[in-house]
Structure 1
C-alpha cells in the first residue's frame, strides 16, 4: 500500500485521523524518529487514534507504520530528479520534500548555467571590467538586488561598481559614462523597458557593454559586446516564484566576480588581508 498517498487522500478517516494524517505528512522526517507516545504528545492525539489509523492502513501497529513510511520517504526522495522550474512543488508535498525539490532545482539551474559558459567568454568579460576606468551596472527589481551583492563583493577587491536604484538616476549613470568605462546590464527576460532604454544610450555613446540575460534574441543582446547567457527555464506568467532565474543570476555574478578576483589573485588576497587588519585595528 502507498502510505503517503493514503495519508493524502484520507479515505474513510475520522476527523481526528485526518488531523493526525496531516501532522504526519507535515512532519514526516520527525515522525519516523518518534515513539508512539512522542507522536501522541506532539500531534495532540491519543495513542488509540494512532493505532486505529495504522489499522486502517492495513498495518499491525505504529512500529510497522514507521518502517514502511520510512521506506516510502526514501523512495520518494530518490525520485526527485527533474523539478519543474515554474511550479517546483505542490500542496501535498511535505516540508522536507519541498526543501529537497528546491535544492534539486538549484543544482540543476547551476549546472545548466555553467554549461553555457566558456573560457573565452569569461576572459573577455573579466578583462573588460579590469581595464575600465569606471564600472556601472543597471538592473531592476530582483536583478538590482543581485547586482548590489556583486557591488559589495567587488568593493572587497578595491573595485567600485556604480549602482543606483531609481531609473532616472540610472539614465544619468549612462549619460555620464565614457568609452573608457564599462556597463553591466542585467535582465533575465531581456525585455525590461528600463534596460532597453539604458542600452540605447550606451550604444549611442559607444560604451563597452556586458549583458546578462536568458534572452539571446532581444534588442539588447544584439548590440552588447559580451553576452553572459542564462538558461531559459521560467515562464514569468506561470511561475510561482523566480527560484531558477534568481539562482542562475546569482551564480553568474559570482562566477564573474571570481574570474575578476583570479586575474590579480595574489594581490587581491594580500590587499584583502590588509583591509581586514586595518578595519579590525580601527
Structure 2
C-alpha cells in the first residue's frame, strides 16, 4: 500500500485528519515547509506530526516526509505521454498502436530501473549465487515469464525451477532446504498463494527474494530482499498487463546478467562451446552468422597471464 493510500485509510483524530489532508494537498511542496509552518497552517501542535508519523509506522516526521517525497516523486515521473492501463484507443491505426506500445515498453524499463536499489540487487545476487537450487513462485503470466529466466540460468549450470503446477506451491516450499533460495513474484504483494508460500519458507529459514510493487505490502515485509516492479497498473480495468510483464522480465534479466557476470568468461565460453556442438541451425543473414574470429579473439582476451 502506498503511503498516500494508507493516510486515507488510517483512523485519525479530527486534528490529525486535517493535517493529513493538508499534507496530501501540498504533495511534493511539503519539502519546503518546516514542522512549525505546517503546524501553524493546520492549527495543530507540532507534536501532531509525530503522532501521525507513528500511526503510519514511521519513527518520526522526517522519516515520513522523506518516504512520502520519494513516493510522490516516483508517481510524478515517467508515464506522462502514455497511460499504462489504456495505452491506445479504438481510433488508433496499427502503426500508432505499435508506436504507443514501444513508448510504453521504453517508459516501463526506465521506470523499473529508477526503482532498483544497489544494496537490494546485490543482496539478491548473493542469495542466488550461494543457493544450491533456486525455485520461482508466481501465478498466471508471472509463472510463464519465469520459465525464460529458468532456461537461461540452467544453461549456465544454475539449478532453477519454476513452480508451474497449481496448488503445489505449498509442497514445493516445504521441500526447500536452508541452502536453497526462492524468488516470489506478486504485483500486489498480497496474493494469498504467494503469502502462504512466503510463510512456509520463513518457517523453514529458506531465504527468498520478493518481486513486488512499491509501497508497504506483506510480501515486501517478509522477503529477505525486494526488487520493486513498476507500479502503474490497476488490477483489472486495463487492456493488458503490459508494464507488469515488462518489469518482471527486465528484473529477471538483470538478475541473470549479474549472475552471468560473476564468471563472465567461463559462462560465455561454456555457452559458445555447447552452441558449436549442438546448434546446427542455418542462416542466410550475415548478421546471424557465427564468427570464428570472435571466438578466437574472445578466448585470447580472457587467457590467464
Q: Same fold (TM over 0.5)?
A: yes
Contact 2:135–2:163 at 8 Å: present in 1 too?
no
CA distance in 2, matches of 1:85, 1:91: 16
Contact 1:210 1:226 in 2 (8 A): yes
Map of 1:128 onto structure 2: 127
Contact residue 81 and residue 104 of structure 1 kept, 8 A: no
Identify the residue that residue 148 of structure 1 maps to in structure 2.
Answer: 147
Distance (Å, rounded) in 2 between the aligned partners of 1:85 and 1:202: 33
CA root-mean-square deviation: 1.6
Task: Kindly indicate whether residue 297 of structure 2 is the aligned counterpart of residue 278 of structure 1.
Answer: no
Residue aligning to 1:243: 242
Distance 1:190 1:232 in 2: 11
Q: Provide the C-alpha distance between the structure 2 equivalents of 1:202 and 1:110, rounded to a whole number of angstroms.
A: 30
Asked if the contact 1:183–1:207 (Cα under 8 Å) also holds between the matched residues in 2, the reply is yes
The aligned residue for residue 173 of structure 2 is 174
1:96: which partner in 2?
A: 95
Deviations 1:54-113 (A, max 9, x none): xxxxxxxxxxxxxxxxxxxxxxxxxx9610000011111111111111110111100000
Q: Give the secondary structure class of the aligned counterpart of 1:238.
A: coil
Under a length normalisation based on structure 2, what TM-score does the superposition of the two structures give?
0.63
Specify every segment of 5 or more residues in structure 1 that has no aligned partner in the other structure, as ranges.
1-79
1:280 CA drift (Å): 4.4
Alpha-carbon contact 1:216-1:222 (below 8 Å) kept: no
Distance 1:167 1:237 in 2: 21
CA gap of 1:280–1:149, structure 2 versus 1, over 3 A, is closer
Residue pairs, 1:80-229, within 5 angstroms: 82-229=81-228
Partner residue, 1:266: 265
Q: Work out the CA distance in 2 between the residues paired with 1:215 and 1:196.
A: 17
Distance in 1 of aligned mates of 2:272 and 2:96: 41
CA contact (8 A) 2:136 2:161 kept: yes
Q: Is the 8 A contact 1:135 1:181 kept in 2?
A: yes
Segments of structure 2 that go 5 or more residues without pairing to the other structure are 1-78, 281-305
**Contact preservation (8 Å) 2:138, 2:163:** no
State the shift of 1:120 in Å. Answer: 2.1
8 Å contact from structure 1 (residues 167, 194) kept in 2: no
Q: CA deviation at 1:178?
A: 1.3
Q: Counterpart of 2:167 in 1: which secondary structure?
A: helix
Report the count of equivalent residues.
Answer: 202
Q: TM-score by structure 1 length?
A: 0.68
Give the Cα–Cα distance (whole angstroms) in 2 for the partners of residues 209 and 164 of structure 1: 14
